[in-house]
Structures are given as C-alpha cells and as structure tokens.
Amino acid sequence: MNKRNSFRNKLIYIVGIMVLIFPMWWLGSPKTPTNRGGELARLQEEHGLSQANLGDIDPASETMKLCTLGFRGLAVQLLWNQAQEAKKEENWTQLTATLKQLSRLQPNFITFWKFQSWNISYNVSVQFDDYRDRYYYVREGIKFLEEGIDHNKENAEIPQLLWDLGWFLGQKIGRADEYVQYRRLFKADDEFHGDRALEDRDNWLVGKEAYLEAIDSIRRGKNLGRKSEKIFYSSPAKSQMNYAEAIEEEGAFETAQSAWVLSEEEWREFGDRVIEHSTGVKLKLGNEAEVAAELAEQEAAMEALAPGAKLRLREQRLELLSDVEREALNTPMDERTSQQFEIANAAEQKVVVTDQDWAAAIATEKSDLKTKAYDLAGKLSEQRVLLIYTQRYKRDANYDYWLVRAVFEQTPEAVSARKSSFLGKQAFEQGDRFKARELYEEAFEKWRVVIDEFPILMDDDGPTGEDILVFVEEYRRVLDALDEPFPESFPLWDVIEKFDLEQKFEAELRDHQTNSGKQAESSGQKAEESGEGDAPAEPKEDEPGGNDPDSDDPDSDDANTDDANTDDAKTDDANTDDAETSDDVGDDRPATPET
Amino acid sequence: MVLENPVQPFLDWFLGDLSNWGAGPMFLVTLLVLALGSVVIGLLVSIILYGPLKGGERVYTVVRNGLAEMFYWSPRRVSAIARLAVQESLRKRVLVAIVVFVILLLFAGWFLQSENDPAKIYFSFVLTATAYMGVFIGLLLSVFSLPDDFKSKTIYTIVTKPVRAGDIVLGRILGFTFVGTMLLLIMGAISYIFVWRSLDHSHQLDETVMQDIRDADGEVVATIPQLTTLDNGHRHEIRVNDDGGIVAAFAQGHEHEVLQDGDKLTVSPPLSTMRARVPKYGSIVFRDPNGNPVARGVSVGKEWKYRSFIQGGSQSAAIWTFDNVDESLLIENKRDETEYLPLELIVRVFRTYKADIETPVQGSIQLRNPETDLKSRIEFFSARDDYIDSQYFPRKLTDSDNNPIDLLKDLVSKEGQLEVVVQCVDRAQYFGFAMADCFIRRPDASPLVNFAKAMVSIWVQMVIVIAIAVAASALLTGPIALMLTSSLVLLGYYKEFFVSVARGAAEGGGPLEALVRLVTHMNLTSPFPNEKDRFEIQLLKNVDNVIGVFMQGVANILPDFTQFNGSSYVASGFDIPWPLIVQQLLTCLAFVIGSTVIGYFFLRNREVAR
C-alpha cells in the first residue's frame, strides 16, 4: 500500500466517522439544564421513561447495568436461566440472590417483579414443610414486590404492582391453609412492619393500604392495564370486610363490629363509583334501582305512543309459528323434552320483539311518531344494556350479599350470635360440655333471628350459611360428647338442608324429615277432620341465582367470583382464587385423596 | 449438601474397570490417538507438499527430534524462561488485576444481600469471582506473550540461545502459572478476610420481652430476654440448653453463645459461620411400600430427580449402608463420657395432605446389622424439612427387644458394615432422600484449609487455561489464539450441553438445524413440515451428524470446568474431599503435558524455532 492510498483511506475513515457522529449526536445527546437533549432524551421525557421519572434511582443498579457493557440482554437471559435452574434444584439461596441481581439489571420491567415475586411467595414458599419457613418466603416475595414498587413509583403500570401487593398481603397470608399461623407471624414481624402500630399490623389492613395506594396512583394518571375495574375498585372494601371477618373469628367482636360499620360505608362508596364495563359502558353498581326505574319510565313513554303495539306484534309472530313450535312454547319449562327445549328456544328468538321492532311497529301504526319512536327505542336499548351490565357486575361482585352482610354483622343479634358460637367452642375446648351446649343453643336461636331478618344470607353465593354449618358441626361434636341426640327442636334445619352439600347431617336430616312428615300428616288429618282448607303447602325452596337470559355476555372475562382471580398470566402454581379452598397443598404436588 | 456426582475413590477414578475406563487409561488412549492422528495428517500434508520420500523423511525427523527433545529438557533453561515470563507479566502491569478485584469486593455488598444464608452467598461470590478473574488473567497473560515476541522479533534473541522449543513452551506455562499463583494467593487472602469480616457481627439482648427459666420443679430460677436485637438483618431466640448453657439459637446459618458475667449477660461473636463438615457417605437403597428392595423411591412429581421419596405408614424405607465403621468414627461426649455415633440426616418432607400444620411429620430411624439383621431400638424424630439434623446414637444402646447391645460389636457386621434405616411414620406423608442426605460426621476440618482447597480448584482452572493459551499462541496470532482459547474455556463451562448437541440429544438439533430454527423463528421441538421427504432437511441433518462426530472428538479433549468447582462445597459448609483435589491436580497435569507437547510441535513448525 503506497502513501497516497494510505492517506486516502484515512480520509475515508475520518469522513465516515464524521457522518456517523452526526446521527449519534442528534439521537443520543443527553439532556442538560440548558439543552433539551437529543431525540432519545426528548422521547424519554415525553413518555416519562427516564430513570428519574420512573422511580428511585439505585446506584448499584446503574453500576451493574454499566458493567455489562451493552450486554445487559445477554446477562439478563443467563440470569433468568440461572434462576429457573436454581428453582428447579431447590437452591433457594441462589435463587433469591440471582433475583436480586436481575432486579438490578431490569428494575423497570414490571412483569419481572410480578412474575418473580409471585414465584417466591407462592411457588417457593410451598416447597417447605415448616410453616415458619413458608412464611419467610411469602414475606420475601412481598418484600420483593415492595422493592419493585420503590423502583417504579412513577411507572405508568405501577397500579398493577400495588394491587398485586395488596393481593399478596391479603390473600396469600389471610387465605392460606396456614392463615392462623401466617397472621400471627405477620403481626409479630417487626422487621417487616418497622414502626407500624400493633393494632394496624393486620394483613388485610396492610393489604388495603396497598389497594388504596393503587387507586391513588390511578388518580395521578397511571394505567390500570387490563385489570377489571370492578375487581380493582372493590378490593379495598373487600379487604376491610375480610379484616372484619378475620378478627371476628379471632374473637375481637367489638372491634369487628366497628370494622363492619366501616365496611358498609366503603362498600356503598364502591357502589357509587363510576366504573367502566369491558365494553366501555360506564355504570355504578349501587345504581340498579335508579336504572331500572328509568327503564320502566322509558318503556311507559314508548307504550304511550301506541298502546298495545308491542303485544300485538308478538301475537302476530306467534301466529306465524308452526304447531310444533307453539306446542313447545306452551309446554311448561319443567315438562319440556330436550328437543322441545331447543325448539322453544328457537321459537322464542322468532317471536321476541326488540326495541327497534317495537319502534317499527309504532311507526307502521302511526307514521308521524316514527322519529320519536326510533329515538326512544335507541335510548331504551341503551338503558336496557346498562341495566343488564349493572346487574351482571353486581352479581359478579356479589354486591347485594356483601352489602347485607356488612349491615347484618353490625346488628347486636349477629354479634351476639357469633360471640355465643365462639364462646361455645372455647368452652368445649376447655372441657365444659354443658356450658358449650348451652352457648351453642343460645347462638342458634340468635342466628334464627338474624336469618329471618336477612333472608339473603341463605343465598347460595354467600358463605354465611356454610359458616353457620361449621358451628352446627361443632355443636354436634358437643352433643356426641354428651351422648345426646340431635334435638328435633333445632332452629336451623333450613340451613342444614341448604348448605350440607357433603351430607354430613344425612342421618339427622332424615330423622327430622320423617318426624316433620309425620307431623304434617297428622296436622293434615286434623285439618281434614275439622274440614278446614287445603293441605299445608310444601315448604318453598328458594330459587338461587335464577336464569340469566344474557349469559353469553361479552364481559365474561371478569365474570368471576367477588375476589376474582388476577387476570395476569401467572406461573405454574397460579392458584389464586379467593374461594376458601386450600391454596397451597396442590401447588405442584399430586393430589392424593385423603381416605 | 447436594452431591449429584459423588466423588469416586482415587483408584476407581484413575484405573476404572474394563467396561468403564478410568482417567489414566483414557489419557493414554487420547494421547496415542492424537499422536497417531497428528503423524498421519502430517505425513499426508508432507507427501502432498514434498512427495512421498522427502515428505516421509521430514515427518520422521520431526517425530524423532521431538521424542528426543522431550527427554532432554533442562530445569535451568525452563526456569530462566519462566523468570522472563514473570518479568514480562510484571511489565504488563498484571498487578492491576488485584486493584480490580479489591474494587469488586468493595462494592460487592451492594449486590450481595441475603438474610437466609449469607455465608453461602459470600463464599459463592468470592470463589466465583476469583475463578473468573484467575481464568481471565491467565488467558490474557499467556495468549499474547509468544505472538508479541514474534511481532517484536524478541523471539530471535531467545532462539539464538541454547534453548529448545519445549523449554520455551513449558517455561512460559510455568512462568505465567507462577504469576497467576501469586495473584490467586493475594486474592484468596483478601477474599477470606472479606467473608470473615462480612459475617462477623454482634447482638445485644433485647430486654423488651422477657422469659422465665424454670427448674425441673417448675420454679422460676431466672428471667432472661426472649430475643437478641436485630442486627445484620436477623435476630436469635434465646434458649437454655439441656446442660444449662444459654445460647442464641440457630438462625442464618449460625448461633451465638450467651455469656454470663455475674448478673450481666452478653452475646458472643457468631459461632460456626464458617465450617467444613467432613462426611462419611454410604450407599443408599430403598424399600417400596411392600418392603421390596428398589433402586429408587417414588417420584412425587418434582422436575428435579435428585431425591426420591418413601411413603409414610408403610414398609417403605431408605437404607444407607456404611462401610468400614469402627471406633474411629465415634465421638466422645465429655459431659457424660459416653461415645456416640454422630449421624446427620437431611429430610425433605412432602405432604399429600396438610394435617396439623404446626406438628412436624414423624419419622423413625434405626441401626441394623446387615449380616445378623439385629436392629437397634427404633428412635422417632420430628422431621425438620431441608435441615441438617443430628441423630446421635450412643455406643451402648438397646435392640428392638430392649436388650442391651454394643453398637460396634452387635450392629456392625464382620465386614465393617452398618445399615441406617429411615422410615416415615405418618400415613400418606412422604420423606425424600438422596445418597448424600445421611452421613456419619467426622470431626470438622479447618474452614481455612477448605477454602485453600477451593482455591486449588481455581488454580487448576487457571493453569489449564494458561497451558492451552500458550500452546495455541505458539502457532496462532494473539487475537486468534485468544478466540480459540476463550472458545475452549466457554465450551468447557458448558461441556454437558456441548456433548448433548454433539450426540443429537439436545432439543433443536445440531448446529445447522438450530441455526435454521433460530433464523426462521421456529420452536425447538416441532419437526420441520414433511421433513422426511425434503432433501434439504435431510442434508442438513446429515451434515449435523458429521459435525456431531467432530464435536464429540473435541469434547474428549475439552476440559470440563464445572468439575473444578469447589465453591459449592465451601458455600454449603462441607469439606472438599482430598481425592477430588488429587483428581483435579492430575487432570491439570495431563493438560499441561498435552499442551506442552502440542505447543512444542506448533513452535517447531514456526520457521524461527527450528
């Protein structure tokens, strides 16, 4: 290579460097107090992505990211693999250490915090036999989540992390099989609580704080993501109710009573909150009556335009049906064959009069009212949808039940019933069987009063009936210990009939039904003899739930239980439901039926 | 600790048997195959270049000279070259590595926070960091040395002196090894002090909650605090031992003694944060629920197959057989002057139903004579999951019929064997065991010596890297030699994966197939559409098979760096067995010999060194 070539090459390099420097400067120059910086700095600022905008700056994290010399992605990949391997090989110390390193390499990756905190709290904790070890890892997961929150205070997705924190604190501690032990350890956990007062160290209350903080972050313009508003906004009030329930179980009845007062207040507040349905419709759960009244008013206004038009249209359509279809429709539901069911359903679709059909019928009869009729029909349809969605959300959230629950739990009868049940149990444990029987019987009399006053408690959707059944079982143990039969005068037979799904009281119930049959027979005979009226009516079964004609509603994604599942894709052990099931035993263990 | 590959006795490892050759025969065979292969390839190349006669003669000369020179190396010349290598390293400011290491440790606290078992984390970190630093330094020192000499023509000055090519290669390996050893010594010392300082802490007694200490009659004899203060992220419960001594109970892998000075109680520095248990392992067999012998217990669905499980409330059992059980294994308790057999047991508990959460699952343990079937009285224990629990058996004990027996005389067979039978008592609950979960504990070794052994493992890795790097740099330019050695080191750390790719056992196929899947975003397990009928796919797979054969050949001479990892022993508080250290040293020697021979021929191949 001669000198000229060498010089030419150098020139080319310099020009190349100059050309490359310009876009680098344009893209990457940092922001200073006097200069708004390059394009990337501007975009960071615009979308709130700079580190200072997202949360606490951790020098260790920044150093570590710098040390990877641009190979952060590779390092993260290796560490994720290492974490998975450590989990597989039950090397928990290594796992937690690796997660700490990962958290420094990707501190603003929300999914990382959600996934791995869940991993520790739910999957790692259950690998231990000792409940103290389990609690340690449950708490480690919670602390890990808190660390993630500190790093992402201003992250747009922070409400999700805060809500998860509330969930872990509440559900993982308060609904585990070991909840008694976990709650006890949680209260005594000075390291976790620091200066928090002893009376505030309840997992449900601390969880509620996190839920409220999550709601507050929404007010600051953060993003809820795909989480259902119904679940999100109901969580603080539900947490308050869970708190009241938990301390009631622990025997703190006076505190529980005031906790229920607050629960009612918060549940009503939740009912008054405008929440968005997944279809975008805005509704209030506590507003059903008003929506229904407005709908009735609008229907009346429509009817007033052409009285009887809707009915006439339906009758016209009925006439068009075949005989088979008409027969199927006219057959009572419980007498229809499966074929008739199908035919009747199809026929019903043919004769149903929609609001638009109704408006068209009015327009045919009175053409001058056409515009008004269509206008009203549009409003009517909207109102109808609003009512259906409101009812559905209410049912999903079990709104009415929880409202009644919060109300009745404050009543002196309910408090007294619970207290007597609790003391009865205590007396039995202390060996005083007679006192235990007395207290239980006293409790059941009070429960009778409560149920009569609040019949919704017998609703299938609420757990109160099952709660009472637990007391009944305890009562039977007391009777067994006393070698006494189950009394016929027991006041809560209806609770047993309805909630004893496992048929633990099969024998008692059979005896009771035989006895009441005899009584009914004898009273029937007496009635006949005395020539009075008809035979006594069969006891009426409550019709639980009821059929919902709109069960294929698109909102089925969050048609879940009241404390429904988190909708995030969780890990293998994602057994999150709030239902009172064992949450851990089956995490990744084969279930062996207990015989 | 987890011991997936138990350490073999030295002779078994070195000699092996007919079906499974040991390291010694394998080394010789590999050396022979390599030598013959090199001669054949050299001969072919020479014949092509110079014709059959001259080519053959050249190869003969090279081999003859090589063999002759191999036995004429001079320690004086080698040490002179080594001295030069040391000087050269110092000129290259190799001591900067120490500064980097110290900085690393200064900031290590930022990244190392563990409340659970800090000793494990600290030891793992320092040993891993030292290993990486050692390998890195060894690589950088050695890989550029010879190429720089060629570049700067200094090699001409050396070859004019009466030194042979073998002396140059071996001298450099030894010189760089000396420098690396010095660095490792310094780093090791700093690391040990770092861990010791990091684990050292003290507690005060927290007097906010007190507890009463009662005597046998229930009378309160003292009132002492219930807990220590919270320091270093943990606190201890204060307990009174059976002997009346007060301790701050085991937490975070250590305990403290509570010292009484009149009425004043003080907490001692931590005890046994660093330890080196010396286990004597036995072999394990299982019994199924009907009492039949099986190689493994049942699987409870865990992905990791290290442990297998025995069913509670049945005849299912885990049975360890210990050889050479004699008096030397017993320890004497000075308090009651009784001799005990110190057994330690790790139990993993698996519950199929929760039962009483606060009550541990119950297990039983018995000693048995494998010859006479005589059993000691059954001892019940509460299983502490994932914890090393001590089960000490006194020498004078009773059999299952309550007759007094002597542990050594009655329960140990004539061949010196003793069986330990462990069962799970609670029905439908399970215990999980692996071979290393039950051992007879010998007196602890020195943690410092154990740490030094781990440093030897690191040293071995460094020396192997230096040897390979010097050999490679004898033929290649610096950057290429660096790439080659780094690749070998990297593959050495992932040898298992490399071998599985070579054998076609890895998901995603061989190298070419994996590349196609990567580029086409195809997952690892799905077959290619109509792959049997597609020529290009079949071609791809066949080429992969050929590459696989080559890769298997490479795998045979690839150092398995994961086998040189002593940190898991130290971090778990177990002594690194001496046979393992000897095996590692011999492996290292084999690599040094092999690399020196290869390096010699490489250097001889260069014009300047003939």
A62 touches chain B (CB under 8 A): no
Is residue A83 over pLDDT 60? yes
Please answer yes or no on whether B301 and A589 come within 8 Å at the CB atom.
yes
Nearest residue on chain B to A87, alpha-carbon basis = B304
Please indicate whether residue A528 or residue A32 has the higher confidence score (pLDDT): A32
More confident residue, A48 or B117: B117
Give the distance from residue A592's alpha carbon to the nearest chain B alpha carbon, in angstroms: 6
Interface test with B, best of A74, A129, A138 (most B CBs within 10 A): A129
Mean pLDDT along residues B454-483: 93
Q: Which helix (H) or strand (E) holds B283?
A: strand B283-287
Residue A546 in this model has a pLDDT that exceeds 90: no
Interface contact B541, partner A, CB < 8 A: no
Which two structure tokens, joined as six digits, stand for A257? 């009573």
The model's pLDDT over B43-65, given as tens digits with 9 standing for 90+, comes to: 998 899 888 888 888 888 888 88
Q: Which of residues 74-103 of A touch B (CB under 8 A)?
A: 88-94, 96-97, 100-101
- What is the model's pLDDT at position B533? 86
B110 at interface of A, judged by CB pairs closer than 8 A? yes
Q: Which residues of B touch A588 (CB under 8 A)?
A: 301-302
Question: Of B304, B357, B386, which is closest to A177 when you measure between CB atoms?
Answer: B357
Range name among A106-110, A113-117, B605-609 with the lowest pLDDT average: B605-609
Structure tokens at B256: 């403290």
Residue A138 phi, psi dihedral angles, 5° rounding: -60, -45
Place of tokens 């490892």: B13
Average the pLDDT over B346-361 and give the result. 93
Query: What is the C-alpha to C-alpha distance for residues B260 and B266, in angstroms, rounded to an integer?
Result: 7
> Which residue type, as a one-letter code, is found at position B329?
L
pLDDT of residue B216: 72
Residue-averaged pLDDT of chain B? 88
Q: What gap in Å lies between CA B456 and CA B448, rounded to an integer?
A: 12
In this complex, which of B2, B121, B386 lies closest to A128 when CB atoms are compared? B386
pLDDT of residue B239: 85
Return d(Cα B250, Cα B237) in angstroms, integer: 8
Task: Quote the pLDDT of residue A48.
Answer: 66
For residue B543, what pLDDT band results from cuts at 50, 70 and 90?
very high
Portion of chain B with pLDDT greater than 70, in percent: 98
Instruction: Tell me how many residue pairs between chain A and chain B have CB atoms under 8 A apart.
Output: 81
Highest mean pLDDT: which of A401-410, A449-458, A507-516, B309-318?
Answer: B309-318
- Nearest chain A alpha carbon to B122: A97
Side chain identity at residue B179, one-letter code: V
Closest residue to A585, CB basis, from B230, B353, B386: B353
Put simply, whether A132 touches B (Cβ < 8 Å) is no
Contact (CB<8Å) B357/A592: no
pLDDT, residue A223, reads 85
pLDDT range class, residue B108, cuts 50, 70, 90:
confident
Average pLDDT, stretch B529-555? 90
Test A59 with B110 for CB contact under 8 angstroms.
yes
* Among the ranges given (A32-36, A274-278, B97-101, B127-131), the one the predictor scored with the smallest mean pLDDT: A32-36
- Selected residue with higher pLDDT from B218 and A294: A294
Q: Is the pLDDT of residue B416 over 50?
A: yes
- Cβ distance A588 to B301 less than 8 Å, yes or no, reads yes
Shortest alpha-carbon distance between residue A78 and chain B (Å) = 12
Cα angle A181-B359-A467, degrees, rounded to a multiple of 5: 50
Note which residues in 373-402 of chain B have CB less than 8 A from chain A. Answer: 383-386
**B 285-344: CB under 8 A from A:** 300-304, 306
Q: Are B222 and B239 in contact (CB under 8 A)?
A: no
Q: Which of residues 254-313 of A touch B (CB under 8 A)?
A: none
pLDDT score recorded for residue A516: 74
B104 reaches A (C-beta below 8 A): no
Cα B437-B441-B445 angle, rounded to 5 deg: 120
Q: Which of A202, A138, A32, A243 is nearest to A587 (CA)?
A: A138
Q: pLDDT tens digit string along A357-397?
A: 999 999 988 888 889 999 999 999 999 999 999 999 998 88
Closest partner residue to A89 among B2, B111, B121, by Cβ? B2
Model confidence at B227, pLDDT cuts 50, 70, 90, reads confident
Of B468, B504, B463, the closest CA to residue B484 belongs to: B468
Helix (H/G/I), strand (E/B), else coil: A313: helix
Which region among A102-116, A260-274, A375-389, B593-607 has the lowest average model confidence (pLDDT)?
Answer: B593-607
Report the pLDDT value the prediction gives residue A564, as an integer from 0 to 100. Answer: 37
| Interface contact B385-A592, CB threshold 8 A | no
Of B200, B242, B280, the C-alpha closest to B444 is: B280
H runs (alpha helix) in A454-505: 464-482, 493-499
The 10s digit of each residue's pLDDT in A231-257 is: 999 999 999 999 999 999 899 998 999
pLDDT over 90 (residue B153): no
* A396 interfacial to chain B (CB closer than 8 Å): no
* Closest Cα in chain B to A594: B353
Residues 6+ apart with CB under 8 A from A432: none
What does the pLDDT look like over B372-401, one tens digit per residue?
999 999 999 999 998 888 888 999 999 989
Distance from the Cα of A182 to chain B's closest Cα (Å) equals 11
In the prediction, which pLDDT does A582 show? Answer: 36
pLDDT at A462 over 70: no
Does the pLDDT value for residue A583 go beyond 60?
Answer: no
- pLDDT at residue B234, as a whole number: 80
Give residue A539's pLDDT. 34
Locate A218 and state its tokens.
């929404």
- Cβ pair B20, B295 in contact under 8 A: no
Non-local (6+) Cβ contacts of A394 within 8 A are: A285, A288, A400
CA distance B356 to chain A (A): 10
Q: Nearest CA to B451 among B124, B177, B137?
A: B124
Provide the pLDDT for residue B349: 95
Least confident of A475-489, A511-525, B322-336: A511-525
Which pLDDT score is estimated for B168? 87
- ipTM computed for the complex: 0.81
Return the closest-CA partner of residue B368 out of B437, B318, B313.
B318
For the record, the structure tokens of B22 come out as 């040991």
Q: Does B518 touch chain A (CB under 8 A)?
A: no
Q: Which residue has the tokens 């684990």?
A: B199
Percent of chain A with pLDDT over 70: 83
pLDDT at residue A535, rounded to an integer: 36
Q: Is A135 an 8 Å CB contact of chain B? A: no
Residue B162 DSSP class: S
The C-alpha angle with vertex B380 and arms to B374 and B383, in degrees rounded to 5, equals 130
CB A89 to CB B306 under 8 A? yes
Closest CA to A486 of A452, A447, A513, A450: A513
- End-to-end Cα distance, chain B: 54
What is the structure's pLDDT at A111? Answer: 92
Q: Which residues of A touch B302 (CB under 8 A)?
A: 588
| pLDDT value at residue A515 | 81
B349–A129 CB contact, under 8 Å: yes
Chain B residues 397-456 with CB within 8 Å of chain A: 428
Residue B204 has pLDDT above 70, yes or no: yes
From the number of C-beta atoms within 10 Å of its C-beta (0-12, 13-18, 19+), residue B239 rates as middle
Higher pLDDT, A303 or A54: A303
- Cβ separation A585–B354 shorter than 8 A: yes
Determine contact: B350 vs chain A, CB below 8 A.
yes
**pLDDT of A44 strictly over 80:** no
Q: Do residue B230 and residue A96 have CB atoms under 8 angstroms apart?
A: no
- pLDDT at residue B558, rounded to an integer: 87
d(CA B221, CA B240): 12
Section A271-277 average pLDDT: 93
* pLDDT higher than 70, residue B538: yes
Position A2 confidence tier, pLDDT thresholds 50, 70, 90:
low
Q: Is A413 on the interface with B (CB under 8 A)?
A: no
Contact A390, A283 (CB under 8 A): yes
pLDDT of residue A176: 93
A592 and chain B in contact, CB less than 8 A: yes
Predicted pLDDT at A50: 66
Nearest Cα of chain B lies from the Cα of A176 at a distance, in angstroms, of 11
Mutate to test the interface with A, among B1, B124, B352 (most CBs of A within 10 A): B352
pLDDT for position A59: 67
Subunit contact B301:A590, Cβ cutoff 8 A: yes
- Residues in A 332-391 with any Cβ partner in B closer than 8 A: none
**A550/B contact by beta carbon, under 8 A:** no
Dihedral sign, Cα of residue A100, residue A105, residue A109, residue A111: negative
pLDDT at A540 over 50: no
A90: chain B residues, CB-CB within 8 Å: 304, 348, 386
Structural tokens at position B108:
């290590």
- Predicted pLDDT of residue B152: 79
| pLDDT value at A324 more than 50 | yes
- Cβ of A133 and B386 within 8 Å? yes
Residue in B110, B117, B360 closest to A93 by CB: B117
Residue B230: pLDDT band with limits 50, 70, 90: confident
Locate the chain A residue with the closest alpha carbon to B356: A178
Could you tell me if A192 lies within 8 Å of chain B, comparing CB atoms? no
Query: Which of A403, A409, A402 shows the shortest CA–CA distance to A259?
Result: A409
What is the reported pLDDT for A589? 32
CA B598 to chain CA centroid, nearest Å: 29
In chain B, pLDDT over 90 holds for what percent of residues? 45
Look over chain A and give the mean of its residue pLDDT values, rounded to a whole number. 82
Check pLDDT > 90 for residue B600. Answer: no
Q: Which residue has the higher pLDDT, B3 or A284?
A: A284
Instruction: Check: CB of residue A285 under 8 Å from CB of residue A390.
Output: yes
> Among the listed ranges A94-103, A132-141, B444-453, which one has the minimum average pLDDT value?
A94-103
